[in-house]
Amino acid sequence: MNFGIAVHGGAGTIARAELSPEREQAYRAALEDALRRGHHILKDSGSALDAVEAAVRALEDCPLFNAGRGSVFNADGQHEMDAAIMEGHTLRAGAVAGVSNVKNPVDLARRVMDDGAHVLISGMGAFEFAHREKVLLEDDEYFFDQHRYDQWRQVAGSDVVKLDHSTADGKGKFGTVGAVALDQHGHLAAATSTGGMTNKRWQRVGDSPLIGAGTYANDGTCAVSCTGNGESFIRAVAAYDVSALMEYRGLPLNEAVREVVHRKLPLLQGEGGLIAIDRNGHIVLDFNSEGMYRGECGANGIVSTAIFR
HSE at residue 84, side-chain half, CA atoms within 13 A, is 31
Beta pairing, strands 120-122 & 93-99: parallel
Spatial neighbors of 167 by CB under 8 A, at least 6 apart, are 15
HSE at residue 292, side-chain half, CA atoms within 13 A, is 26
C-alpha distances out from residue 85 to 12, 114, 186, 219, Å: 23, 11, 17, 14
- What does the pLDDT average to over 190-199? 88
The distance between the two most distant Cα atoms of the chain, rounded to a whole number of Å, is 54
The domains located in the chain, with CATH, are 4-308 (3.60.20.30)
| Angstrom distance (rounded) from CA 223 to CA 216 | 6
Selecting among 176, 192, 198, 227, the annotated active-site residue is: 176
The string of pLDDT tens digits covering residues 138-186 is 998 898 888 777 877 777 667 666 555 545 444 555 679 999 999 999 9
The string of pLDDT tens digits covering residues 200-250 is 778 888 999 999 999 999 999 999 999 998 899 999 999 999 999 999 999
> In what helix (H) or strand (E) does residue 288 lie, and over which residues does it extend?
none
**Annotated catalytic, 176?**
yes
Query: Whole-model pTM?
Result: 0.94
- pLDDT band at residue 77, thresholds of 50, 70 and 90? confident
